[in-house]
Chain A
Amino acid sequence: MSVSTIEKERAPAVEEGILIFIFADMCMFALFFITYLMERNADPTVYIASQAKLNQTLGAINTLILLLSSWFVVLAVKALKRNAQQACAVFLASAFCCGAVFIVNKAMEYSAKIQDGVTILSNDFFMFYYIITGIHLAHVVGGMVILLVLFINTRRGKYSANNIAAVESGGVYWHMVDLLWIFIFPLIYFLGA
């Protein structure tokens, strides 16, 4: 059996409790998405006019940044499986930096909107915009804290190929943050017009 086959068949060492938390989180976002779609279809004019005020380019850049960060996390896990702690730490730090860039972009986007007088109270579309992207942003911040802890512990040599559960669990959480944004971006920024 080749090494790649063994790697493919081996289940990631993620605790069941983490999977329950991640799935519950995803279900919460699914409810947000469905509620948003129902409300948008009930009053499309307001939603389309409001959507046009968003910065789609910044949203697309943020999608690329989060995908890149997920790739770095994948590379970090692979490095740890080879017992290459140094490389793992570099990839975790790179993923953390991508998260930081995402936050800076989001802060720029929010501040531009607020300066234009667009707030959570402006209309229903912007209520959903701030709530969905805001809760997602909180998940990005939470994920960055996890990445930071994993980075510090990796630098201290706490993880190895035989002790990988924490890094794989943190990685699965970060991938969830990424996949949620893959749907949030088209849903909020341009679908419906």
Chain B
Amino acid sequence: MALFRDNKNLVAMGLLLATIVSWFTFEEFHGYVIASVVIILISTVKVKAVMSSFMEIEAMPGPWKYMMNGWLAVVCLSMLIAELM
């Protein structure tokens, strides 16, 4: 099927699946720190996938790729630190 031969379609399906996995992680393990860490990491991977596959930041000129990845690192680390403190 053409739908499954395209990388961007596979990424989009993976993103939808990851959202459902995050939701079940929250439903089943709400209140556990490890569940929060897993949800933050899944969200970070999802944002990285949107940036790389949909926004195509790797192909952008100049420092944009580094700035976007830096933004992602700052937000992810802030959330992890706040959760583990």
Contact B54 A191 (CB under 8 A): no
Contact A67 B12 (CB under 8 A): yes
Contact B22 A186 (CB under 8 A): yes
| Cβ-based interface call for A10 (8 A) | yes
Question: How distant is A29 from chain B, measured CB to nearest CB, in Å?
Answer: 8
| Interface bits B16-48 vs A (CB < 8 Å: 1, else 0) | 100110110010001100001001100100110
| Cβ-based interface call for B1 (8 A) | no
Contact A183 B43 (CB under 8 A): yes
Contact A70 B50 (CB under 8 A): yes
Contact B50 A182 (CB under 8 A): yes
Question: How distant is B39 from chain A, measured CB to nearest CB, in Å?
Answer: 5
Contact A23 B67 (CB under 8 A): yes
Contact A60 B19 (CB under 8 A): yes
Question: How distant is A8 from chain B, measured CB to nearest CB, in Å?
Answer: 7
Contact among A12, A27, A33, A187 for B56, CB-based, below 8 A: A12
Contact among B16, B47, B56, B83 for A64, CB-based, below 8 A: B16
> Which residues of B are found within 8 Å of A74, using beta-carbon distances?
8, 12, 53-54
| Cβ-based interface call for A121 (8 A) | no
A191-B50 contact in complex given A23-B68, A30-B71, C-beta closer than 8 Å: no
| Cβ-based interface call for A192 (8 A) | yes
Contact B79 A19 (CB under 8 A): no
Count of chain B residues with a beta carbon within 8 Å of a chain A beta carbon: 41
Interface secondary structure of B, over-half rule:
helix
Contact A41 B85 (CB under 8 A): yes
Contact B78 A186 (CB under 8 A): no
Within 8 A of B (CB), among A35-64: 37-38, 40-41, 56, 60, 63-64
| Interface bits A175-189 vs B (CB < 8 Å: 1, else 0) | 110110011011100
> Which residues of A are found within 8 Å of B20, using beta-carbon distances?
64
| Cβ-based interface call for A148 (8 A) | no
| Cβ-based interface call for A71 (8 A) | yes
> Which residues of A are found within 8 Å of B51, using beta-carbon distances?
175, 179
Question: How distant is B69 from chain A, measured CB to nearest CB, in Å?
Answer: 12
| CA distance in complex: A58, B22 (Å) | 14
Since A192-B36, A192-B83 are in contact, a sample of 8 more A-B pairs with Cβ atoms closer than 8 Å, ordered by chain A residue number, is A78-B6, A179-B50, A183-B47, A186-B40, A190-B30, A191-B40, A193-B30, A193-B36
